[in-house]
Structure 1
């Protein structure tokens, strides 16, 4: 038990460290590129990716999760998945290549033909890494994964900045996306000893697809739902508005998705190993919820306070249009890690049927926000997304309660003290930010309020002796001793 705990802590630390470093590098590169490029150019790439990212789900088909979740995996299983992923990716590339003129016509922008066809190469490149990446996650080898992603992000970012500086415009963003995946591919194949054998096992396919097919359907539903907001903005509003929305979404995703994506990486293999010990799994989930939400709630509400200095101070006045979107999107991301944890529980317990059911319910309810975007406006659409987020959490936790006796009330009770700490921060820092706005520039305001808020949260947490705060200190101390 202690071995799994140590491995989980090590995996979690490397996963989170990797995400933080990667997001930090991406954030820095993004700031430089945003100052060199225009919102319209970001909007064009976002338009193309709306369609391309949906095909990622078809290529994966849920097999990456099946590889991680499965107790025993054979070389035959891995080779079967590899060739299936590759075959589907080639078909997807051909479809997108042929659809490119129609996509350009849909948006009314002829530039999208070349952009869609070029970015579609990403699908084949991605297919070549699915098995290799899944094996790293399955074995909780996040140190290697962190190194690969970080190096790729830095190299592709440097090249993109050079291209943007030389006036390549939107193609700087396109080459950044492609080169990042190419660098990931090269390093993954160099770091992993596994190589596919020349075999395709029908029995392996049937067994793995028996688990993954529901994940495929739920993945398609989720990916289409995630992209449909961008589709609506890109279709019914100018490209610049999609650029504003996309940039606000990227800022919003920094805390919530960094934490959640790190969780997705290590929770599934760890929870899967606990699937036969329900009480132990329940205790682990409560602890994870407390720790993760302590970070996320405070970070998201601080972002709400600092939306304007964050966007304008870092990106420039030309991005002011993203500020109102970010202020609202903060509340969409507030509970996002809890969504991740609850759906990972279903997957870890092998209940892909419930996973699919949850996704269908959530997306039916969430479709109302899309209608608001079409008929009312982008801010109304985001307000609809906020309401949907809370309803979706209730749906997620309903099945967690049935399986583990850990429903919505119990989970919210776990984080009530965290919300109390964050609320004090907002009450004190928001008026101070408004007052100092007339005396400080955006960067000075950003640094000052962030610093005060950080120490204020630590002080209150220590004063109240928050369990999650104490647990975080113990984990950090343990990691420092181990690496010291």
Structure 2
């Protein structure tokens, strides 16, 4: 296993390259596709996201946390994934007529047909991807993700320009998944079995039934607002909510998407070595919130220039949604790693039960709020995220002995750093109220000021992360000095 620092470096390099590619594509697609087209795809994508949990059936998690992974177990895992992927694809295809009729939109049926094909071909890459994550072969993961991202983006933009609308995003997803399988098999390790087996799969099914139920509940709770808004309101409203949520999720794209693939293997490795998980969990959350809270606070204050600069004036209705959803993101960051710590500690059932408890609250809150408007939906998500934090933290305390008050105390320095970070964005918002023209300028000033405030904060507060930043700053300062001074 490669070192933690090298693992994080490779993961971040892949994540940021992927982010840049996706970011550029979003800028293009936001000007080609309408809010209604984005909304139509968001409704169909919700169904795919929920069924995705049952397609994988917790197999990647099983491969990562299994103490001794044999050839027979790999073949059995492959068999489980093929059976379930084909079953889910069939269910999605057969239900497409009823779902399209439910929303009164025939375009959804075509999207679901393409998504069914995506499910059918998915096992050929996802199993290998899980094995690479277990072994921390992050160079291979990097290669697979970048190939898939480039393919996804190229197809999405090409098909959108040809007028396929929401269907272009479905085809982009199909070819992205296809490219994952092709890229993964190009770097396939020698000796890895090619053929599945359908014997001795009871253990995987037992593990997967619990893990997939929890994953599905979590995914449903996160994506259900789009589905409910699409039915109770209209597709344009779904588009605004989806775009606002996508903007807030930039933090996940910046940081957590790079970290989450490492967290479960990391915690699982610590457990196998007999280390104290409580200390490492608190430290991980402290590091995460030192980034998350300043990011969401800055995004909240600069929401209008961000939306106007990135997406244009047709998406202005998303601005107040972005401001409220930033609070959701800040709260969620405290419990971001809770599921991984419970699974790594061998308590996948508790992780699932926690999700089954909290997600119904989210559904009821959002369903009630759709009667009153999008702002009320965003407010309902804030309330439900608070409930989620309390419930999940109780299960974490049962698992490793870390209570919510103890976890918040570990994040105290993150709160102080946030105060340093928001100084410049607050001044921009107070003294630069007219963002209508040249919105990029106040955005740039606020973002640069926030970055400077964040750096000042981590050193003034003496956050542990400062120990990692200081050598980088010294290296950059030396690199920019003239040769005569360095000599």
TM-score, normalising length: structure 1: 0.92
Tell me which of 232, 253, 257 is aligned to 1:236: 232
What does residue 315 of structure 1 align with? 311
Within 1, Cα distance between the matches of 2:305 and 2:149? Answer: 26
Establish whether residue 459 from structure 1 lines up as the match of residue 431 from structure 2: no
> How much does 1:68 deviate?
0.4
Counterparts of 1:208-219 in structure 2 under 5 Å? 208-219=204-215
What does residue 259 of structure 1 align with? 255
The DSSP-based 3-state class of the residue aligned with 1:466 is coil
What does residue 341 of structure 2 align with? 345
What does residue 269 of structure 1 align with? 265
> How much does 1:326 deviate?
1.0
Deviations 1:248-296, CA, capped at 9 Å, x for gaps: 1111111035433333211111111211566532332222222221111
Within 2, Cα distance between the matches of 1:61 and 1:311? Answer: 37
Answer whether contact 1:32 1:161 (CA < 8 A) is retained.
yes
> How much does 1:358 deviate?
1.1
Q: Which moves more between the two structures, 341-350 or 167-176?
A: 167-176
Answer whether contact 1:256 1:296 (CA < 8 A) is retained.
no
What does residue 9 of structure 2 align with? 13
Q: Which moves more between the two structures, 403-412 or 427-436?
A: 427-436
Answer whether contact 1:401 1:407 (CA < 8 A) is retained.
yes
Tell me which of 279, 282, 298 is aligned to 2:278: 282
What does residue 39 of structure 1 align with? 35
Q: Which moves more between the two structures, 337-346 or 420-429?
A: 420-429
* 365 and 44 in structure 1: CA distance in 2 versus 1, 3 angstrom threshold: closer
Tell me which of 346, 351, 368 is aligned to 1:372: 368
Tell me which of 348, 355, 360 is aligned to 1:359: 355
Within 1, Cα distance between the matches of 2:474 and 2:128? Answer: 32
Deviations 1:177-197, CA, capped at 9 Å, x for gaps: 222222222101111226544
Within 2, Cα distance between the matches of 1:259 and 1:391? Answer: 24
Answer whether contact 1:31 1:314 (CA < 8 A) is retained.
yes
* 350 and 252 in structure 1: CA distance in 2 versus 1, 3 angstrom threshold: same
What does residue 390 of structure 1 align with? 386
Within 2, Cα distance between the matches of 1:373 and 1:301? Answer: 24
Answer whether contact 1:257 1:337 (CA < 8 A) is retained.
no
Establish whether residue 469 from structure 1 lines up as the match of residue 466 from structure 2: yes
Establish whether residue 447 from structure 1 lines up as the match of residue 444 from structure 2: yes
Within 1, Cα distance between the matches of 2:357 and 2:253? Answer: 22
Counterparts of 1:222-233 in structure 2 under 5 Å? 222-233=218-229
What does residue 95 of structure 1 align with? 91
> How much does 1:165 deviate?
3.0
> How much does 1:390 deviate?
2.0
Counterparts of 1:399-410 in structure 2 under 5 Å? 399-410=395-406
Within 2, Cα distance between the matches of 1:159 and 1:210? Answer: 38
Tell me which of 317, 325, 333 is aligned to 2:329: 333
Within 1, Cα distance between the matches of 2:471 and 2:357? Answer: 39
Answer whether contact 1:256 1:333 (CA < 8 A) is retained.
no
What does residue 79 of structure 1 align with? 75
Tell me which of 103, 113, 123 is aligned to 1:127: 123
Deviations 1:114-157, CA, capped at 9 Å, x for gaps: 12111221112222222101001100112221222123212331
Answer whether contact 2:297 2:418 (CA < 8 A) is retained.
yes
TM-score, normalising length: structure 2: 0.91
Within 2, Cα distance between the matches of 1:276 and 1:33? Answer: 45
Structure 2: runs of 5 or more not aligned: 476-487
Q: Which moves more between the two structures, 382-391 or 272-281?
A: 272-281
What does residue 206 of structure 1 align with? 202
* 171 and 220 in structure 1: CA distance in 2 versus 1, 3 angstrom threshold: closer
The DSSP-based 3-state class of the residue aligned with 1:94 is helix
Answer whether contact 2:240 2:318 (CA < 8 A) is retained.
yes
Answer whether contact 1:62 1:215 (CA < 8 A) is retained.
yes
Within 1, Cα distance between the matches of 2:206 and 2:169? Answer: 38
* 25 and 197 in structure 1: CA distance in 2 versus 1, 3 angstrom threshold: closer
What does residue 22 of structure 2 align with? 26
Instruction: Give the count of matched residue pairs.
Output: 474
Within 2, Cα distance between the matches of 1:346 and 1:460? Answer: 32
Structure 1: runs of 5 or more not aligned: 479-484
* 141 and 369 in structure 1: CA distance in 2 versus 1, 3 angstrom threshold: same
